Structure 1
Amino acid sequence: MNETRRAILEALDDGPVSGPDLAESLEVSRAAVWKHVEELREAGFEIESGPAGYELLEVAAYGSDAVEFGLEAPFSLEYHDSIGSTNARAREVAVDGATDVAVLADEQTGGRGRLEREWTAPAGGVWISIVDRPEIAPSQATLYTLAAAVATARAAREAGVDAQIKWPNDVVVPVGDDGDYRKLSGILTEMEAEMDRVEWLIVGLGINANIDVEDLPEGATSIREEAGDVDRRRFVQCLLEEFDAYRADLESVVPDWRELALTLGQRVRVDRPVGEVVGDAIDITETGALVLETDDGRETVAAGDCEHLRPV
């Protein structure tokens, strides 16, 4: 957000302020104040001109300026009403050298999940890709994916959803007591790295927010279905603030993931390129690998598609 517009919003958030007072405090002309106010109105902020000056009546519901206003995390937002893929746009931003940018869209028309699977992303969801340049080794990148899952689950729980995590990073809503679930969110992480460092990293998140369940694939759910419509502006702010806190404290990611895990304690099958493995999920390692107790002993699985099996 333009810094002058941000300063105007912060001033108006405390009550009406006259144009001359704004101009003086910001050291700009009254014409410049008027221009910025008009731009804020065009962005969806309801600002009234009255005897006491400009008054902020309502914050815009969604969009980059709306999310950035009041956001307590150092991200700039790039918003699109509709886009092919937020991850694709985030890659362009990353290649150009940017960092701490979140590409946000109301709708995706070409979203993809793991293994190039199609991800339904209609209007009303939260489709966001975060660009970062962390000073970490490539082996630690999995912690960013787990951090995104924990941040998403915590934001969903704040919205009233009983969100938990299916290994490694699907945010789900449990159904019954047998490990069944409905999928609420998926996460796809991409990065450019050398042997000893990460050049850039993108965490792409797709969250079914204010969407009718009939418009989603079988087995999926939404915040609307579970708890009613959510204020997406506040949801994205909560998500980004949680993610920012975890990337600054990677040691807390795995313990907090464990607390939200639906998979731990379940009988699971994990499909891997080298073959499937079946066992009881008992833990994850400090890098996020799943630890299974199998008929042949304990086995650690770094990656694969995990399926919860019904108890015999």
Structure 2
Amino acid sequence: MNDTRRAILEALADGPVAGPALAADLGVSRAAVWKHVEALREADFEVESGADGYELVDATAYSAPAIEFGLDAPFSVEFHESIGSTNDRARELAADGAADVAVVADEQTGGRGRLDREWAAPSGGVWLSLVCRPAVPPADAPLYTLAAAVATARAAREAGVDARIKWPNDVIVPEDGDYRKLAGILTEMEGETDRVEWLVVGVGVNANLDPDGLPDGATSVRAEAGDVDRRRFVQRLLAEFHRLRADLDGVVPAWRDLAATLGRRVRVERADGAVVGTAVDVTESGALVVETDENERVTVAAGDCEHLRPA
């Protein structure tokens, strides 16, 4: 959104403003003001005209301009009604040198999770991928996955959902010793031995989706707490993620506060075999520490984690 259009929105949000007054304040013509107002209407902002001038009466549209308006984070937004994969598009942007872009879609037709598992992403969910260029070594890259999980869980909790985090990349809702999956995170990276070139952090949230259409073991914001304003949800997620990435030392403590995995008996599938025991901690780089039945502590950097019922 250009600066003039943003300034008009901010002025209209405070109440009716006459076109001539807007033109004088912004140093543009009255015709330019009218064109900007029409463009805002085309972007689904509800701007009314009355005797006292223009007034913004609603800004809840799910679009790039609406998400950017009032966003407390330095991300530009690329919005798609439908796209194959927001992560694929984000990787294209990253390869072209982009930074701090949020690719958001109403639906994905080719979404995927870890290990290229299919991820259903119909209209009504929150599907987004963030392009980042952090000045960190590759060893710190997992912290961005944890930060995204924390940001997603916090946004869901603000929406009324008892969201927790299952290591390494799922946001869940606990239920009778088990859980239902609310959201997943997929992080992809390009870099060298000593530095990250770019990170793409993909987040998929079952937001305003009917539970009957979800896979077994999944849930949605709608099922847990009713429909959410997706524009506001994305804004909160982006703002929280931005705050966390600016303070990487605070990511793991924030993750621990919301962790559903710590203290649980788990089975973690790794390439070289499974680790079974009790999850006791995460390291400062985001690896899971498991105390096995033989009283050995094993640090797991990556793997599929399953929560087991108590023996």
**Under TM normalisation by the shorter chain, which class is it?**
over 0.9
Corresponding letter in the other structure for 1:15: G
| Alignment-derived partner of residue 13 in structure 1 | 13
- Structure 1 runs not aligned, ≥5 long: none
**Alignment of structure 1 residues 236-275 onto 2, 5 Å:** 236-275=234-273
CA contact (8 A) 2:152 2:171 kept: yes
The 10-residue stretch of structure 1 (84-93 or 55-64) with the greater mean CA deviation from structure 2: 55-64
| Alignment-derived partner of residue 304 in structure 2 | 305
The 10-residue stretch of structure 1 (294-303 or 142-151) with the greater mean CA deviation from structure 2: 294-303
Task: Output the CA distance in 2 between the equivalents of 1:308 and 1:130.
Answer: 29
| Alignment-derived partner of residue 59 in structure 1 | 59
| Alignment-derived partner of residue 35 in structure 1 | 35
Task: Output the CA distance in 2 between the equivalents of 1:47 and 1:307.
Answer: 50
Corresponding letter in the other structure for 1:272: R
CA contact (8 A) 2:172 2:181 kept: yes
Corresponding letter in the other structure for 2:223: E
1:76 aligns with 2:111: no
Give the secondary structure class of the aligned counterpart of 1:276. strand
Deviation, structure 1 residue 191: 1.2
Task: Output the CA distance in 2 between the equivalents of 1:173 and 1:94.
Answer: 33
Deviation, structure 1 residue 216: 1.1
| Alignment-derived partner of residue 127 in structure 2 | 127
Corresponding letter in the other structure for 2:265: R
1:187 aligns with 2:193: no
Give the secondary structure class of the aligned counterpart of 1:211. coil
Task: Output the CA distance in 2 between the equivalents of 1:277 and 1:56.
Answer: 56
Task: Output the CA distance in 1 between the equivalents of 2:57 and 2:148.
Answer: 33
1:91 aligns with 2:94: no
CA contact (8 A) 1:43 1:60 kept: no
Task: Output the CA distance in 1 between the equivalents of 2:77 and 2:20.
Answer: 30
Corresponding letter in the other structure for 2:200: I
| Alignment-derived partner of residue 174 in structure 1 | 174
Deviations 1:34-62 (A, max 9, x none): 11100100111111111111111111421
Corresponding letter in the other structure for 2:57: L
Deviation, structure 1 residue 25: 1.3
The count of corresponding residues between Structure 1 and Structure 2 is 310
- Structure 2 runs not aligned, ≥5 long: none
CA contact (8 A) 2:211 2:219 kept: yes
**Alignment of structure 1 residues 211-230 onto 2, 5 Å:** 211-230=209-228
Give the secondary structure class of the aligned counterpart of 2:112. coil
| Alignment-derived partner of residue 164 in structure 2 | 164
Task: Output the CA distance in 2 between the equivalents of 1:295 and 1:267.
Answer: 10
The 10-residue stretch of structure 1 (50-59 or 82-91) with the greater mean CA deviation from structure 2: 50-59
Task: Output the CA distance in 1 between the equivalents of 2:263 and 2:77.
Answer: 39
Task: Output the CA distance in 2 between the equivalents of 1:184 and 1:60.
Answer: 23
Deviation, structure 1 residue 23: 1.2
Percent of aligned positions that are identical: 73
Give the secondary structure class of the aligned counterpart of 2:286. coil
| Alignment-derived partner of residue 292 in structure 1 | 290
CA contact (8 A) 2:13 2:57 kept: no
CA contact (8 A) 2:60 2:229 kept: no
Deviation, structure 1 residue 295: 2.3
Deviation, structure 1 residue 189: 0.4
Task: Output the CA distance in 2 between the equivalents of 1:57 and 1:157.
Answer: 27
Task: Output the CA distance in 2 between the equivalents of 1:235 and 1:258.
Answer: 22
The 10-residue stretch of structure 1 (56-65 or 126-135) with the greater mean CA deviation from structure 2: 56-65
1:44 aligns with 2:44: yes
Task: Output the CA distance in 1 between the equivalents of 2:214 and 2:248.
Answer: 33
User: Which residue, 190, 200, 203 being the options, matches 1:202?
Assistant: 200
Deviation, structure 1 residue 74: 0.7
